[in-house]
């Protein structure tokens, strides 16, 4: 028997083995046939709505509102369903009720004179919207989404019943009974949540959940409850992932940024991480030390009584961070970051520092823990403090749970439905060629660079049986955060030292990777798409990380929509720069729509004044024919399943497998 024949036999045996396994699920011709018909029907349904968010930066309330309104998707469904039959005011009220049903019901209960009439009208409207948003899904999928307490009633109300002659009377009687037995408020909440659930089929978070804002832990809690989500790690997520691994430089960075933005409460109250050892150390060591360079960028929630202590904490942890980073850079010459070794370039007599051959005056050289002869060495007290904080990070159950979710539902990039999603950039040289980067002694570029860094990011968290390899992998996690050739950072250096200690603004500049000056060129975008095995003629890149400065006339849409930059500044720290409060993207069966958002004041204001925050939307692409499930990645999987089921049918019919 020839080699080819042996291989063919083996393939046939493997195929038969797989079909026998499939037969356990579909034990006869009838079962297999029913599933083929079901899957074929799904292929011809409109594709579900995808919702893209990025650069949330701890702004929970704004994130939560955008999630609830589906970047205007809920309001569009209301407009489609009711057209001119409802006033704009009634549409706004209905939308707000769907976003915040419990809170809105409390207000209505106080204001409405005839609450039963209001319940009746509102329930009818909600049922109509529920029918509309459920219409693009199979009954099975809708059934899985139904709230347990009201599943049967909702299914009755949204399903056409041909056998009932007086349909209106039938539905009215159900709604009347709901009101009569005092279940209307609970039913309204259930329907509103179901509409939110069905209006968006899948959520993409294109990086940077963490840092700056006060609520990243609340965002992570929400994402963990969300029905379908993936995450592309941003540089600020990566540094938190490194901190959860126990990497000292990542931990120091996370604490420093929290101190800088007045959000140490996120660590202490949100995650229960004990910072008392650091506060005690800072109070003692920096008691009479000038900390003016370490001002706090606080928001309205910040308690200013903590200002003096927080500035001391800020300086203490910043110095620890600079020392720890210096140790990593010295241990990894392949990182090519020697230019970041600046603590040993300080002249304490002249109060200057030498950077790239030029001497700069320093605003602050009062560093009680820095030994000029060995500036990167931690003092005994610093070692003890950072070791205790490390234990708190490692033992924080909530943080570990959140970071495991980031690992299991995330990655450095994602290819999904002809879209390439990533945070940052694909590193390029000035000629537009993929930049080659040394990772653990080998050179990688393009997609291979993403893949190897993704691999090491996971190794840094999971390889507990290889302590030495795990430590090196964790150093690479830190490199992904701040390295000059990191895809998610995308700049030549992180000028943390310069921003604290040198007044000249030109030395603060961080030069972006050539990617950012080349993304207006279609040939460059085509090359990137091809590198990730996508067809440039029908694919898009969805990109986070760099705020779009609308005030300066920048546009988020490049090359007629081939590249979409959807960071417009959720973070309050960026809004004065960008002029808006973020972009989001919605892709549904009709095409793609880019949505610009106004700054979000508060949940209370949104409920009280029925204000929404999507201000403008731009149609990026309109599908000539409605996009079906058959045109998506799920469609490819379903067609493969149909092929296997058809082989199973064949096996039943020719006797290779016996029906049960």
Q: What are 108-130's pLDDT values in tens digits?
A: 999 888 999 999 999 999 999 99
Q: How far apart are CA 225 and CA 281, in angstroms?
A: 39
pLDDT at site 288:
92
What angle, 0 to 180 degrees and rounded to 10, lies between the N-to-C axes of helices 446-462 and 235-245? 30
Q: For residues 90-100, give the mean pLDDT.
A: 94
Least trusted range by pLDDT, from 169-183, 296-310, 446-460, 585-599: 296-310
Answer whether residue 555 shows pLDDT above 50: yes
Q: How far apart are CA 121 and CA 372, in angstroms?
A: 75
pLDDT at site 2:
47
Residues 6 or more apart whose CB falls under 8 angstroms from that of 401 comprise 224
Q: How far apart are CA 298 and CA 468, in angstroms?
A: 40
Beta-strand runs (E) in 6-115 = 50-53
Answer whether residue 568 shows pLDDT above 60: no
pLDDT at site 604:
82
Judge whether 246 and 380 are in contact, CB under 8 Å: no
Q: For residues 392-414, give the mean pLDDT.
A: 98
Answer whether residue 647 shows pLDDT above 60: yes
Q: For residues 63-71, give the mean pLDDT.
A: 90
pLDDT at site 139:
87
pLDDT tens-digit map of 3-56 = 444 465 777 888 888 999 999 999 999 999 999 999 999 999 999 999 999 999
Answer whether residue 572 shows pLDDT above 80: no
Q: In whole angstroms, what separates CA 198 from the centre of its chain?
A: 20
Mean pLDDT of all residues belonging to the chain: 91
Answer whether residue 601 shows pLDDT above 80: no
Pairing outcome for strands 419-423 and 540-544: parallel
Q: Which residue has the higher pLDDT, 616 or 104?
A: 104
Answer whether residue 1 shows pLDDT above 50: no
Answer whether residue 574 shows pLDDT above 60: no
Q: How far apart are CA 583 and CA 564, in angstroms?
A: 10
Least trusted range by pLDDT, from 321-330, 368-377, 538-547: 538-547
Q: How far apart are CA 222 and CA 225, in angstroms?
A: 5
- Considering only CA atoms, which of 632, 303, 567 is closest in space to residue 425? 567
Q: How far apart are CA 141 and CA 518, in angstroms?
A: 43
Q: Which residue has the higher pLDDT, 478 or 163?
A: 478
pLDDT at site 578:
47
Answer whether residue 369 shows pLDDT above 50: yes
Answer whether residue 575 shows pLDDT above 60: no
pLDDT tens-digit map of 279-312 = 999 999 999 999 999 999 877 677 778 899 999 9
Q: For residues 144-151, give the mean pLDDT.
A: 92
pLDDT at site 3:
44
What's the pTM value of the predicted model, to 2 decimals? Answer: 0.92
Judge whether 311 and 285 are in contact, CB under 8 Å: no
pLDDT at site 580:
52
- Considering only CA atoms, which of 341, 511, 488, 338 is closest in space to residue 413? 488
- Considering only CA atoms, which of 115, 111, 118, 181 is closest in space to residue 153? 181
């Amino acid at each position: 028997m020839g080699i080819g024949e042996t291989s063919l036999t083996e393939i046939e045996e493997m195929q038969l083995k797989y079909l026998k396994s499939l037969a356990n699920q579909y034990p006869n011709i009838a079962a297999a046939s029913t599933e083929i018909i079901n899957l074929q029907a799904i292929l011809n349904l409109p594709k579900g709505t995808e919702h893209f968010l990025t650069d949330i930066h701890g702004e929970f309330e704004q994130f939560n509102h955008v999630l609830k309104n589906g970047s205007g998707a809920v309001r569009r469904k209301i407009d489609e369903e009711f057209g001119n039959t409802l006033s704009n005011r009634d549409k706004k009220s209905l939308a707000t009720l769907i976003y915040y049903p419990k809170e809105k019901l409390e207000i209505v209960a106080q204001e409405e004179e005839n609450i039963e009439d209001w319940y009746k009208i509102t329930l009818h409207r909600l049922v109509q919207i529920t029918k509309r948003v459920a219409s693009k899904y199979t009954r099975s999928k809708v059934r899985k989404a139904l709230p347990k307490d009201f599943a049967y009633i909702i299914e009755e109300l949204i399903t056409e019943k041909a056998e009932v002659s007086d349909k209106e009377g039938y539905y009215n009687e159900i709604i009347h009974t709901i009101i009569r037995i005092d279940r209307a408020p609970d039913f309204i909440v259930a329907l509103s949540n179901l509409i939110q659930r069905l209006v968006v089929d899948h959520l993409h978070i294109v990086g940077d959940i963490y840092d700056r804002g006060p609520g990243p832990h609340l965002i992570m809690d929400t994402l963990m409850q969300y029905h379908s989500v993936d995450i592309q790690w941003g540089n600020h997520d990566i540094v938190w992932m490194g901190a959860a691994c126990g990497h000292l430089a990542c931990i120091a960075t996370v604490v420093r940024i929290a101190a800088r933005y007045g959000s140490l409460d996120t660590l202490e109250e949100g995650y229960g991480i004990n910072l008392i050892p650091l506060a005690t150390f800072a109070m003692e060591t920096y008691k009479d030390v000038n900390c003016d360079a370490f001002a706090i960028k606080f928001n309205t929630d910040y308690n200013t009584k903590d200002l003096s202590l927080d500035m001391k904490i800020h300086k203490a942890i910043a110095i620890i961070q600079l020392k720890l980073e210096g140790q990593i850079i010295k241990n990894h010459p392949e990182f090519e970051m020697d230019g970041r070794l600046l603590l040993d370039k300080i002249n304490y007599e002249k109060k200057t520092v030498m950077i790239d051959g030029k001497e700069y005056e320093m605003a602050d050289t009062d560093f009680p823990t820095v030994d000029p002869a060995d500036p990167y060495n931690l003092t005994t007290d610093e070692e003890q403090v950072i070791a205790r904080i490390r234990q708190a990070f490692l033992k924080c159950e909530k943080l570990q749970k959140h970071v495991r979710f980031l690992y299991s539902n995330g990655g450095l990039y994602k290819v999904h439905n002809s879209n390439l999603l990533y945070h940052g950039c694909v590193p390029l040289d000035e000629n537009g060629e993929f930049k080659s980067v040394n990772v653990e002694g080998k050179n990688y570029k393009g997609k291979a660079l993403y893949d190897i860094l993704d691999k090491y990011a996971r190794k840094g968290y999971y390889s507990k049986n290889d302590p030495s390899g795990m430590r090196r992998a964790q150093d690479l996690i830190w490199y992904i955060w701040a390295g000059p050739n990191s895809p998610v950072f995308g700049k030549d250096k992180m000028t943390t030292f310069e921003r604290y200690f040198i007044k000249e603004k030109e030395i603060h500049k961080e030069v972006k990777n050539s990617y950012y000056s080349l993304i207006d060129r279609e040939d460059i975008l085509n090359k990137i798409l091809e590198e990730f095995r996508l067809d440039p003629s029908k694919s898009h890149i969805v990109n986070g990380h760099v705020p779009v400065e609308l005030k300066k006339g920048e546009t988020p849409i490049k090359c007629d929509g081939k590249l979409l930059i959807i960071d417009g500044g959720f973070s309050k720290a960026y809004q004065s720069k960008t002029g808006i409060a973020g972009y989001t993207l919605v892709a549904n069966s009709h095409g793609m729509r880019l949505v610009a958002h106004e700054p979000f004041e508060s949940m209370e204001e949104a409920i009280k004044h029925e204000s929404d925050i999507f201000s403008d939307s731009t149609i990026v692409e309109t599908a000539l024919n409605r996009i079906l499930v058959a045109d998506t990645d799920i469609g490819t999987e379903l067609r493969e399943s149909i092929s296997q089921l058809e082989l199973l049918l064949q096996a039943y019919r020719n006797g290779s497998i016996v029906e049960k």
